[in-house]
Structure 1
Amino acid sequence: MSQTNRGRAQDRARVAAGQDHEVRYEAHKEGVSKAAVRDAVLEVGNSRNKVEAKLEEGD
């Protein structure tokens, strides 16, 4: 895990569904709605790889 400038741990392998900026980023990246990202997180968990695979599966 990397660290922020303030020394806090930063986990880029997770999608925090409660963080609007994370959901918005992932939705824009995958070309889907924010609701689709939140639904994917609820279905497969918060692993970024699993969420992205689930969103790509929907195409």
Structure 2
Amino acid sequence: MEGKIFKFKILAEVNTKIKKAYCPPEKVEGNPCLEYVQYLIFPWFHEFTVECSEKNGGDM
């Protein structure tokens, strides 16, 4: 049981760090948020959508 709690705690910490991450606008190379998507999201899900309000340009 402790292993599951430990894993959950790690996931919670990762989620917190991701939510606080700074994604520099118009910067692709060396952008930590885009690198996360490239190496951890695309290999599994093959797509990624950024949900934004219409005020901020809509979904991308």
* TM-score relative to the length of structure 2: 0.24
Higher relative contact order (CA 8 A, sep 6+): 1
Greater Rg, structure 1 or structure 2? 2
Structure that is richer in strand per residue: 1
* TM-score relative to the length of structure 1: 0.24
Structure that is richer in helix per residue: 2
